A and B are shown apart, each in its own frame.
Chain A
């Protein structure tokens, strides 16, 4: 801390210029280099800080809508269906009437602390059946009748272009319940959450994130219904 050291004037002393200048020099030097130690402990409060000084929040499709508060997908179901028999189809999450559930754009620099992404959802998927002798019930392979879904979070750099899986965010669900035939299948329900810290190296700008689900295998009826989701990101700067 730059500290001011006063050269006190004593009673009876001759008041010389250099004595006064010494004190003023000390004040001038200190004033030009004020740092955190010049401020009283807990002397600064919220009023002194500009908004988003410590964190920036982004919720689902915040960038595309006027209000980020009222556009969470908690009251609308989405059905994603694979058209690939015994193959797989990847679907990007939707968002109400908008095309996709995207958050961003995020920017960060080397001094930021973190960007944390949270996804939470509920789902319903069809069960397996035992009607096809050629479809093993409990396999994770192309001829299976097992419902097998993989969720992940993907990243896009820029306002257009390809989405790339964020490594480590893959979450898989599959079930072993088997019904004797297609008509007797029962749906499975569950919930799923993903939390992820974005790799902040290197500093970037214009980065978007979006949830995806990949629907694997299954010969017939391959829908997954998302009964509500919330996807948000927080940029923690300090």
Chain B
């Protein structure tokens, strides 16, 4: 702290003891050698320019903003899927954190049920199977293998739809992976027979260190 006691005070005519001199000087030297704190520094002394970039916050992101990054997900598979029918990922984030942090993860994306007919999958024909079979798509957010949040089922009648997920989870220093998974099912848990095309989307991980 800023206020330091002078250990010995010398008067005119004193014979100075070497130890008193050393203690006086050491009192200030010790302070500068790693023990300065808030009381040594004036209020609002620091601006952002004094702070090292990414000292408090760090971001990782994965954005899909081209048609080439759209992913078709197989509607005949009823389990959670972490890659497309073509074996391509959805844009996972992998990173190494140099310290423990709170990870704030957000995902938003848009999708549509892949058309299989010129008039899309719904057909104005009485008794047409796809008119009565209800099926859904669901998304979940995975951090280091843990499910941290999901979005509610979105039904096929929402031909184009979008979703948003967010979660916060404390992470230790080290390597981490953030990803999403997708599951398509009919109402009874069976196959949907209808693919999903995952379109524009963005996955963000905000590491809050302080």
Contact = CB atoms under 8 A, between A and B. Distances in A.
Nearest to B201: A168
Interface string B20-37: 011001101100111111
Interface string B61-79: 1011100000000000000
Contact of A138 (B53, B108, B122): B122
A38 B33 contact: yes
Given A52-B48, A53-B51, A190 B158 contact: yes
Contacts of A237: 48, 51
Interface residues of A, number: 71
B75 to A, nearest CB: 15
A18 interface: no
Nearest to B210: A54
A177 B157 contact: yes
Q: How big is chain B's contact interface, by range?
A: 35 or more
A217 to B, nearest CB: 12
B43 interface: yes
B156 interface: yes
Contact of B48 (A27, A120, A238): A238
B22 A4 contact: no
Interface of B: 17-19, 21-22, 25-26, 28-29, 32-38, 41-48, 50-59, 61, 63-65, 106-110, 112, 118-122, 124, 156-162, 164, 166, 199-202, 204, 206
17 contacts: A1-B33, A8-B18, A11-B17, A27-B29, A34-B32, A50-B44, A137-B119, A139-B118, A168-B64, A168-B200, A170-B199, A171-B110, A173-B162, A196-B63, A238-B48, A238-B52, A238-B53
